[in-house]
Every structure is written in structure tokens, then in C-alpha cells.
Amino acid sequence: MGKMFGTDGVRGIANTELTAQVAFDIGRSAAYVLGKRSKRPVFVIGMDTRISGDMLENALTAGILSIGGNVLKLGVIPTPAVAYLVKYFKADAGVVISASHNPFEYNGIKFFNSDGFKLDDNIEGEIEDVIFNGIREEKVLIGGDIGRCLDAEEDAIKIYTDFLLSTIDIRLDGLNVVLDCANGASYRTAKIVFESLGANLTILSDEPNGVNINENCGSTHTKNIQKKVVEVSADIGLSFDGDADRLIVIDDKGRIVDGDYILSICAKKLKDDGELNENRITASVMSNIGLHKKMEEYDIKVDTTKVGDKYILESMLKTGSVLGGEQSGHMIFLNYATAGDGVMSALQFLKANIASGKKVSEQRDEVIIYPQVLINAKVDNKNKDIVTSDKEISEQIKIIEEKIGNTGRVLIRPSGTEPLVRVMLEGEDIKMLEELAVGLATSIELKFNKA
């Protein structure tokens, strides 16, 4: 059996790797698999602003309808909105057509189950099996057995933005806020929410044209919003990615406040309010040691997982943690939502900030984030998983750990998608870290980048 689904659905360059035929096959196979559980499964479909979205939406829809499923098209809407609306409309699954923070020529397809959580790996495996091996005992549906597109009786964007507003119990009157919508899925919803709360808005990158999503804007390209925050003397900047499930904050001095800062600030607020279940949060192995040290100060436990919001959520569901996230800005507030949500994360951050009575820059300065150096070492795919157990590499890592002491750490992580091993060093002396990281990456390449 082949492999299509990664840690966040199926992704590739639209119309070459992710073609209309592939989308049709995914829709058809998903409807068949879910049709075994529900005779006529209902799918809600949302997408970001990429030009390829219409093509893939229609192909995916055709595949679902051909096997007897029904489709409710939500149009351009954030990924977390689909996670919420699949429950609201009592659908069997939600589908998002998006490649998140990637350039416009990419696109992707990812699924949520009826509870708004990302689809279980086993069900994705069943869908892949049908795609590659065909439908057993297939019969062509005709007449009334074919599925149809349904009309929503309510405005999906209003339902979703009303939900977001229900998660915050304060007003933002007089607060000067800069928004960067990445020319993506939040270009309407973010404005609605923050205008409703009374914020004074300056909005960047809210004119999508199909090809400008994430183009020098959004959570992965923050120079514009950093400059604008300083220029207009804003209190805060809020930058989302293309499908609006990430948040990067910009403080009043124009500095980046990434996911580690956001986790720290929100964790303290939740603990102070008695809402941090078991006094624990969840972060990936790439989280900065500064976050861990701050959480020790607050007597909050940090559970660490593999990189990916999917793994963050899996751990949270097992441990009872209600707050998790990554440096990239994926934040999950499980008391409110089943998926990362950039706008919701912004609201929760603002609640924490306003309650503190401090400027965002003052809260940022309370968390000491240590320098990190990340270098990719090229390694043959068959050798990726044995690097960390190699005796010579392990000895070199021990020497490095002794040099950087207890104010830093070394992390070696095989890439899940590329022939690379990621070498990450963290500590106080950036020059020393760079030298040590280059030396370790070179050793790994010399020994393991062989056919």
C-alpha cells in the first residue's frame, strides 16, 4: 500500500502532485470508508484563498457525491472553523483544502472527524488502502443514490465568529491592534471579531487574490507587521498564517513573541484562574529551555512530544492538559477548541495580557528565551533513525553538553519527510553554539550521508 497522508493530511504542488484526479480519489475513498459507518455521510468542506482551492474543492466534492455522500461547502474559512462547524452541523467529517503557511502553488487536504479532531491514523490508512487498491464489490450509483450539495440554513462565518467572541469576557475598546491576515483564510473573520470587541484596527494583507497568500506576510514573514506596530505606536500586533491556525504576536516594541512566550504567559493566567488542569502544559521537543525554566518557576509541568500539533493534541488528550503549543504559533486551548486557532489564541493571549496590567513587551521580558541554532545534516534515508544511537555521535554530544552546561541542551531529530537529521543546540553563547552545531552536523554527514 502507498502512503499519502503525512502528519497534517495530504500536501503537494497543486495540479502536478495534488491533482484534481487525486482530490477526486480522496473524496471518493473517504466517502466510501465513512459510508460504512453512516449510509450517507455528510462532509463540510472549507478552504483558504489559494487559486487552486476551487479546482480541488470541486474535484473532492465530485468524488464524495459519486459514492453517495453529501457535501456542505463553507467556502473560504479558517481551518479551526471547520473543526468547530463539523460538530455544529452534526456532519460526519470536515475537510480543509489548505497548505497552511506554504507558498500559494502548494495545497493540501486534511480531515477532521465528527468531533472536530483530526482524523485517526487508522481511518486515514483505510482511505489510503481504498485509493490504491480500489473499492471492493464496487457498484456504480445512479439516480437518487448519488449525493448532493446541501445548503446551510445559517451563515457559517457568523456561527464561527460568534463562537470566538463567546470565549472572551472583556472588551478591547481603545486598544491599538495591528492584524496581519496573510492574505489568507482569516481576512474576514479576524476583522469581524476584533471590530466587535472595539479594538482600533490597522489591518495588513487582507486582500487575497489567489496567489498572494503568505507572500511576505503572515506568521512566517513578520517584518511588515513588526515595522507597522512601531510606526503606528500600536499596543500589539497579531499575525496569522494562511489557514489561520497559527499566531505570532508582535509586542509594542516591534519584537516577535513566538509560541514559547505565548505558552508561558497564557499558562500563568490559566493557573492563576484555577483553569490549568493538573498544572501542566504540553509542548514539542523543540520548545525553548527558557520556557521550561519559567514553568519550573511557576510550578507547572511541561509534557514534551514530537514536533507537530497532531502529537501535541494526542498527548493532551491522554494527560488531561488543556493548553499546548509550539514555537511556530500552533496553540491548542482544549477548554474551548479541538484544534489550533490563531484568532482564539490571540483572544486568550489578550485576556492574559490585559489581566496582568502590563505592556506586552514587559510580559515578554519576563520570559528568558535562550538562543537556538538549527542546522540540517544531510543523511541517507535508511540511516536517519540510527544516528542518535551511534556511539561516536553520542560521545560527541556528551562533550558538547558538558561545554554548554545546564543552561542549554542538544537535540538530534530525524526529519519525518526529508533525508535530513536536524541538529539543534541551545544555550547562552550563540557563537559557541554555531561552531558546535556545525561540527556535529558535519560529523553526522560524513558518517551517515552514504548510499
Q: What is the DSSP letter of 164?
A: H
Separation between Cα atoms, residue 248 and residue 257, nearest integer Å: 6
Q: Do the beta carbons of residue 14 and residue 55 sit within 8 Å?
A: yes
CB half-sphere exposure, 327, CA atoms < 13 A: 15
Which region, left, alpha or beta, applies to residue 156 given φ > 0 means left and ψ of -120 to 50 means alpha? alpha
Number of residues that make up the chain: 451
Following DSSP, what letter does each residue of 291-314 receive, concatenated?
HHHHHHHTT-EEEEE-SSHHHHHH
The set of cell numbers assigned to 155 is: 451563515
Q: Do the beta carbons of residue 50 and residue 210 sit within 8 Å?
A: yes
The set of cell numbers assigned to 415 is: 526529519
- Grouping H, G, I as helix, E, B as strand and the rest as coil, residue 7 is strand
Q: Do the beta carbons of residue 421 and residue 301 sit within 8 Å?
A: no
Q: Is 284 a catalytic residue?
A: no
Pairing of the two strands 176-180 and 236-240: parallel
Following DSSP, what letter does each residue of 243-291 receive, concatenated?
TS-BEEEE-TTS-EE-HHHHHHHHHHHHHHTT-SGGGEEEEETTS-HHH
Instruction: Please identify which of the residues 52, 98, 100, 219 carries the catalytic annotation.
Output: 100
Q: Where are the beta strands (DSSP E) in 19-120?
A: 42-47, 70-76, 93-97, 106-113
- Grouping H, G, I as helix, E, B as strand and the rest as coil, residue 108 is strand
Separation between Cα atoms, residue 148 and residue 61, nearest integer Å: 9
Q: Do the beta carbons of residue 261 and residue 249 sit within 8 Å?
A: yes
The set of cell numbers assigned to 154 is: 445559517
Residues forming the active site:
100
